[in-house]
Chain A
Amino acid sequence: MHNNAFFHFLSLLLFKQKNKHIGAIFISVIIIFLLSSVLFISSSLQKSLQATLQNQPDFTISRLQAGRAVDTPTEWIEKIVQIDGVSAVTPRVYGRYFFAPNENSFLIVGVDFFDEQSNRSLQELMETTDLKSFFAMPSMLVGEGVQKFMSAHYYSDSFSFKLPNGSFKKVAIAQQLPSSTNLIANDMIVMPLELAKEIFAMEEESITDIALNVPNDAEWDTIVGKLHLLFYDAQVIDKREISKAYKSLYNYKGGLFLILYLITIITFMLILYQRYSMVYSAEKKEIGILRAIGWSIQDILKLKFYETLVIVISSFILGVVLAYIFVFIFDAPLLQEIFLGGENLANSVVFVPTIEFGILGSLFLFFALPFFASVLIPVWKIAVTPPKEAML
């Protein structure tokens, strides 16, 4: 059989009988669309998180007492600086400030503005800040969510923190943190170290933890060992652990979704099986005619296989393109909430378009394989129709 004539016949058939397939295509597009939206969001968030993490300090060290993190003494810093290969040792003070008990909270991060910063994006931010006016009075840098929250509560250019001893501390809002850092800095306030200590009423000689960088990756494990030898009650967290933790968190969220989605896929398979059994049994006469004019069973199988392939590929492409538009152009309204969680300050994130071939491959397998598997038996049933059916 000449191939061109065969494909011509195939396309004629598809257009002539499009009503038969439109139902299946419609369900397929919905299934692909939902699934790929979730996977796109998950992978895009992972990408942004990893990119943000790149700028974080390599290690943080804090003191543990009875398994709980307690304030770290400042004298640790001098000892850490002595270790070879360590750079940008930064004391940090941070904690949650509650706007009202059990209500919304901000993450206050206190840093020494005159030191070299171990957080690289903070370092860049500091270089662009006008330090002179910043230090003229108590000031702070706030994340986008904090900014919105404060202006909704009529604190447009300054905010009064309530200290533990009952007095108030007025701090000016100097600048907003770049919204590209929203994923982690949405509810963050950056302010000078001393100011943060004052707000949390911490002692003079203590800090929350110490951040440091080790520029040479190969030295990381040695440095961890040295730190543990220096302080027996220290907890050292390195960036790789955080990265793995984030990865497994998103892996978990995406995986759980996929497992629940298995039910949908199996239902989908049953629907397809039913639907195509019906559609094809209505085609008996047609197939009988084809067999009578000399098509072999093999040829019919081939025809039906290509027909299914066209349906699968077209609905796959349609679903993925729709999901792409939904996630990366409209920023996935509704679905966003599953991944970001809005229990504290409302967050909004712009998804950075990322397309991984691995994800597309997974999606295709997850959809196409069940599709083919469920139409295989109906296709065979129709293909072995004897030619005498044409005469009935």
Chain B
Amino acid sequence: MNEVLLSQEVIVYLLSESLLFGLLFVAFIITPLLIKRWNFDAFTQEQFRLENRSYLVMSIVFFVMALKILLLPYFVYTIDQLSDIVPGAMCGAGIIKANGYGNPLLLLKIIILFLSGFWMTLNRLDLEAKAYPYTKRKLWFFLFIFMLLSIEFALDILYFTHIQTTNPVTCCSVIFGQMGGSNALFLGLDTPMLLLLFYLLFVLLVLMLWSKNSLGIIVTSLLFLFVAYYSVVYFYGTYIYELPTHKCPFCMLQQEYYFIGYLVWGLLLVGVFMSLDYAISRWLWKRDALRLRNFALWALSLFVLLCSLFVVVYYSKNGVLL
């Protein structure tokens, strides 16, 4: 018997994913006909029926995407809970590495969330304009996301059925720690350089957002996401844990650290997503969503402030840096 599949969180998670996939499948089945026969200028019974159906697709996708946003932190929480029953694991890092499906799955989840966010923006624009100008593009885009979602669903099942409770997995200090003095950072960077890059990219991103340069925002925000991930894991994380050797993106999600990880990673992802969304809707759909931009600025600034605050608080308490 597979103990992992008996874990409450895994059952709830897989049930949710299956239900959502079922709904998406309904939407998927009616989409091809919509794409083929959609003609807004036609004044036929069929076009009215298609318009009604497009609302079904829209409601389903909207509902599923909204829940996927909730399910991402829940997935991370599930992984974290599993570390209690899998030997050797202290946090989610070990579990996600328990088989080859974990890391691609997590990455795919984040990509899907971003894409579905763009879909929702497109959908809003489509509804605002009275003639549904983007419907066909929106539906094609949905088909593409559905393909990714199918892969995700398959990976979900493969991942959870292939975690073994008999073989020990590695702990986060083994995965992320520097073993044998090798440098874990990319391009041979050292910590001061990484931090410099982190703050420079942040400033650059803010400037890009102010100057509304779409392409600049996209490139900078993706770079910032990448550099911020490394900075949090290899520098700010050590201040959250108050331990210079503890480098892990997952442990901060645990109760011992007041679940601060959800806030840290949440702010980063939301900030980067909103910058991207702003840039794309400006670039492709010629909309200047100022509210989105301001949200992005707030989230990113809060993220940088929160990270820096951990260092400042540690320094003011102990008088030394790690």
- A residues contacting B by CB (< 8 A) are 39, 244, 247-248, 251-252, 254-256, 258-259, 262, 265, 297-298, 301, 358-359, 361-362, 365-366, 369-370, 372-373, 376-377, 379-380, 383-384, 386
Query: In angstroms, how far is the closest chain A Cβ from the Cβ of B258?
Result: 12
Determine whether the beta carbon of A39 is less than 8 Å from that of B63: no
Q: How far is the CA of A247 from the CA of B89 in the complex (A)?
A: 14
The answer to whether the Cβ of B85 comes within 8 Å of any Cβ in the partner chain is yes
A-B contact count (CB 8 A): 84
Q: How far is the CA of A186 from the CA of B84 in the complex (A)?
A: 27
The answer to whether the Cβ of B213 comes within 8 Å of any Cβ in the partner chain is no
Query: In angstroms, how far is the closest chain B Cβ from the Cβ of A229?
Result: 21
**Which one, B9-17, B178-186, B240-248, is touching chain A?**
B9-17
- A-B pairs, top 4 by smallest CB distance, nearest first, are A255-B6, A384-B52, A362-B12, A380-B56
- Please, could you name 20 A-B residue pairs with CB atoms under 8 Å apart, sorted by A? A244-B84, A244-B85, A244-B87, A248-B85, A251-B6, A251-B8, A255-B7, A255-B11, A259-B6, A262-B11, A298-B55, A301-B59, A362-B9, A369-B19, A373-B20, A373-B22, A376-B63, A380-B55, A384-B52, A386-B48
Which residues on the A side are within 8 Å of B52 (C-beta)?
297, 384
Query: In angstroms, how far is the closest chain B Cβ from the Cβ of A49?
Result: 13
Q: How far is the CA of A358 from the CA of B83 in the complex (A)?
A: 14
Out of A244, A254, A376, name the residue touching B8 (CB < 8 Å).
A254
The answer to whether the Cβ of B270 comes within 8 Å of any Cβ in the partner chain is no
Query: In angstroms, how far is the closest chain B Cβ from the Cβ of A365?
Result: 5
Please, which residue of chain A has its CB at the minimum distance from the CB of B87? Answer: A244
Determine whether the beta carbon of B55 is less than 8 Å from that of A255: no
Q: How far is the CA of A380 from the CA of B12 in the complex (A)?
A: 26
Please, which residue of chain B has its CB at the minimum distance from the CB of A261? Answer: B11
Q: How far is the CA of A373 from the CA of B60 in the complex (A)?
A: 9
Question: Given A247-B84, A251-B85, A358-B77, are A365 and B12 also a contact pair (CB < 8 Å)?
Answer: yes
Determine whether the beta carbon of A365 is less than 8 Å from that of B70: yes
Query: In angstroms, how far is the closest chain A Cβ from the Cβ of B126?
Result: 11
Please, which residue of chain B has its CB at the minimum distance from the CB of A254? Answer: B8
Q: Which B residues, 256 to 270, have Cβ-Cβ distances below 8 Å to chain A? A: none
Out of B13, B19, B56, B165, name the residue touching A373 (CB < 8 Å).
B19
The answer to whether the Cβ of B67 comes within 8 Å of any Cβ in the partner chain is yes
Q: How far is the CA of A338 from the CA of B116 in the complex (A)?
A: 44
Query: In angstroms, how far is the closest chain A Cβ from the Cβ of B160?
Result: 13
Interface string of B164-207 (1 = CB under 8 A from A): 01000000000000000000000000000000000000000000
Out of A255, A297, A376, A384, name the residue touching B60 (CB < 8 Å).
A376
List 18 additional contacts besides A362-B8, A365-B16, A365-B74; criterion CB under 8 Å: A244-B87, A251-B8, A251-B84, A256-B6, A258-B8, A301-B55, A362-B9, A365-B70, A366-B16, A369-B15, A369-B19, A370-B15, A376-B60, A376-B63, A377-B56, A380-B55, A380-B56, A380-B59
- B residues contacting A by CB (< 8 A) are 3, 5-9, 11-13, 15-16, 19-20, 22-23, 26, 48, 52, 55-56, 59-60, 63, 67, 70-71, 74, 77, 81, 84-85, 87, 127, 165
Which residues on the A side are within 8 Å of B71 (C-beta)?
365
Question: Given A301-B59, A358-B77, A380-B56, are A366 and B6 also a contact pair (CB < 8 Å)?
Answer: no
Determine whether the beta carbon of B55 is less than 8 Å from that of A252: no
Q: How far is the CA of A362 from the CA of B6 in the complex (A)?
A: 14
Query: In angstroms, how far is the closest chain A Cβ from the Cβ of B154?
Result: 20
Which residues on the B side are within 8 Å of A254 (C-beta)?
8
Determine whether the beta carbon of A369 is less than 8 Å from that of B67: yes
Q: How far is the CA of A386 from the CA of B55 in the complex (A)?
A: 14
Determine whether the beta carbon of A39 is less than 8 Å from that of B59: no
Please, which residue of chain A has its CB at the minimum distance from the CB of B165? Answer: A248
Determine whether the beta carbon of A297 is less than 8 Å from that of B55: yes
Determine whether the beta carbon of A370 is less than 8 Å from that of B6: no
Q: Which of B11, B23, B63 lies at the interface centre, i.e. has the most chain A CB atoms within 10 A of its CB?
A: B11
Query: In angstroms, how far is the closest chain A Cβ from the Cβ of B90?
Result: 11
Query: In angstroms, how far is the closest chain B Cβ from the Cβ of A355?
Result: 13
Out of A39, A358, A366, A386, name the residue touching B81 (CB < 8 Å).
A358
Determine whether the beta carbon of B85 is less than 8 Å from that of A247: yes
Question: Given A244-B85, A361-B74, are A255 and B19 also a contact pair (CB < 8 Å)?
Answer: no
Q: How far is the CA of A359 from the CA of B77 in the complex (A)?
A: 11
Determine whether the beta carbon of A39 is less than 8 Å from that of B8: yes
Query: In angstroms, how far is the closest chain B Cβ from the Cβ of A231?
Result: 24
Query: In angstroms, how far is the closest chain B Cβ from the Cβ of A205?
Result: 37
Determine whether the beta carbon of B20 is less than 8 Å from that of A369: yes
Q: How far is the CA of A383 from the CA of B55 in the complex (A)?
A: 9
Which residues on the A side are within 8 Å of B13 (C-beta)?
365
Determine whether the beta carbon of B19 is less than 8 Å from that of A370: yes
Which residues on the B side are within 8 Å of A384 (C-beta)?
52, 55
Which residues on the B side are within 8 Å of A265 (C-beta)?
15
Q: How far is the CA of A298 from the CA of B85 in the complex (A)?
A: 46
Query: In angstroms, how far is the closest chain A Cβ from the Cβ of B23?
Result: 6
